[in-house]
Structure 1
Amino acid sequence: MCGRYASVVSRADLLDRFAVDESNADEPRGQDFNVMPTKDEPVVIARVPKDAGDDAAPERDLRTFRWGLLPFWAKDIKVGARMINARVEVVHENPAYRRAFKSQRALIPVDAFYEWLETDQVGKASKQLKQPFVLRPTDGLTLPLAGLYEVWYDKSLPDDDPNRIMPTYTIITTIATDSVGRIHERMPMAITPDHWDEWLDPRNHDVDELCGLMAPPVDGSLDMYAVSKAINSVKNNGPELLEPLPAEHERTHAPAGCRQGTVADR
């Protein structure tokens, strides 16, 4: 599962990284170190201009969508909070996602994502305490996660209400690789730069090819280290959320095989 992440790179860097013309981009929304479901965040999509020929290359857009996909048939906006992730095993055939998978695919720019490891400590109401970890690319680049989007219409609002139209997205996940699996059983899928064109092209309907474009981040390509439990509160949102815990604390909480990151490492 991918249920919390950080989106902190600048709009200018996103435009450059994903080769998006500024005229095809929404206004910047600022850094967010604690992205949670239902927030509006940047996504990269592609479209073919209506007046373009059959051989025209799709144009990329950088848009701001709401996290939590709402299928066109959804009756209530609350449905989106339960659809922040789509399992890769069934994404092409699940009724909630198959239309979007066919022609409404996206790249979700993520600078880091968070997962929680169950510890041997017990808290209130005899609940097992969990230690948050951050996972971020070792190369420092924004991680392009595989996603889908839908445009939902709130039929309870009048046609001229700007809030009637709501673009939403979800992140595709898979079984976690060995190292990440020590923290959580699932992880997000990514799309490498050489496959961005094929993935984003809305005219590409080849299910087998599309499934082959997705892959989990290469094992060892992510730094993983324990961070403050301040990330647990949606009220907290600052760069300190990405700072590693002191080495002696991390050694106590790190699962076997995890790389122990420190400020010096970065």
Structure 2
Amino acid sequence: MCGRYTLLADELEILEEFELEQEIANYHPSYNIAPGQNVLAIIHDGKQKRAGYLRWGLVPSWAKDEKIGYNMINARSESAHEKPSFKKLLSRKRCLIIADSFYEWKRTENGKQAKRIQLANRKLFAFAGLWDKWSQHDKRLFTCTILTREANPFMKDIHDRMPIILPKSKENEWIAPEEMVPLKAREFIFHLEPEELKAYNVSNYVNTAKNNNESCIAPVAD
């Protein structure tokens, strides 16, 4: 799964990395992005790529209660094409969720050890995400979820699941405005080449979502 991550790059880095033409309104970096918060995402509106904020925790358009979003921060890619909450979104509401590392907790004899995980060969990257619009009465929400997969050999030592990180060459294809048959979207994900990862231990300071400063990413001894 993926329950916390970081985005520390400045706005110009993001604009250049993802070839965005418009500025990002209200952009702010974060050391500790948590479910329920607004997260930076990129969609294609049919004319161009646009960056903006979505709330992390998918609230499907048909949901009666927005609180369902707290249970839908991740979607299993192996079965998303079969699930009512995700099936249509795989066809037409795919997004990039921008990050530069994520946290995971490894079970050890002394309890859970928090780890910060990064790409070995590049700084910024995008999780494969899905988004939806929910409205009820006079309230509207734009929300998202991060797709996950079975852990690769590197991650298996830490956790049995991991977020799907898109190779640079596949980012634009993932958010292309053309509809994608849900099963084809699943196959697209299945055939992605894995990215090389690296990780180091951080303190349990990151466990608390309100903690959001350099202490979250400070290395600690094994």
Q: When the two structures are superposed, what TM-score results if normalisation uses the length of structure 2? A: 0.93
219, 223, 229: which one pairs with 2:198?
223
Q: Tell me the residue number matched to 1:130.
A: 112
Structure 1 position 3, deviation (Å): 0.6
Letter of the 2:198 counterpart: D
Q: Identity across aligned pairs (percent)? A: 30
For 2:163 and 2:18, the matched residues in 1 are separated by 19
Q: Within the alignment, does 1:151 sit opposite 2:133 as a pair?
A: yes
For 1:146 and 1:176, the matched residues in 2 are separated by 15
Letter of the 2:61 counterpart: F
Return closer, same or farther for 1:43/1:104 CA change in 2, 3 Å cut-off: same
Higher relative contact order (CA 8 A, sep 6+): 2
Q: What does the per-residue CA deviation read over 1:59-92, in whole Å, with 9 as the maximum and x for residues that have no partner?
A: 1000111000110011111100100000001111
- Please state whether the residue corresponding to 1:214 is helix, strand or coil: helix
Return closer, same or farther for 1:193/1:204 CA change in 2, 3 Å cut-off: farther
For 1:28 and 1:13, the matched residues in 2 are separated by 15
Alignment of 1:62-211 (within 5 A): 62-121=51-110, 129-155=111-137, 158=138, 164-211=139-186
Structure 1 position 217, deviation (Å): 6.8
Larger of the two Rg values belongs to structure: 1
Asked if 2 retains the 8 angstrom alpha-carbon contact of 1:117 and 1:131, the reply is: yes
- Please state whether the residue corresponding to 1:41 is helix, strand or coil: strand
Please, what is the CA RMSD of the aligned residues?
A: 1.7
Structure 1 position 173, deviation (Å): 0.1
Letter of the 1:7 counterpart: L
For 1:233 and 1:143, the matched residues in 2 are separated by 24
Q: Within the alignment, does 1:233 sit opposite 2:215 as a pair?
A: no
Q: What does the per-residue CA deviation read over 1:20-53, in whole Å, with 9 as the maximum and x for residues that have no partner?
A: 111xx541331111110010010011011xxxxx
Q: When the two structures are superposed, what TM-score results if normalisation uses the length of structure 1? A: 0.78
Return closer, same or farther for 1:140/1:195 CA change in 2, 3 Å cut-off: closer
Return closer, same or farther for 1:176/1:237 CA change in 2, 3 Å cut-off: same
Q: Tell me the residue number matched to 1:125.
A: none
Structure 1 position 203, deviation (Å): 1.6
Larger fraction in strand: 2
Structure 1 unaligned residues grouped into runs of 5+: 49-57, 122-128, 159-163, 251-266
Q: How many residues are aligned here?
A: 221
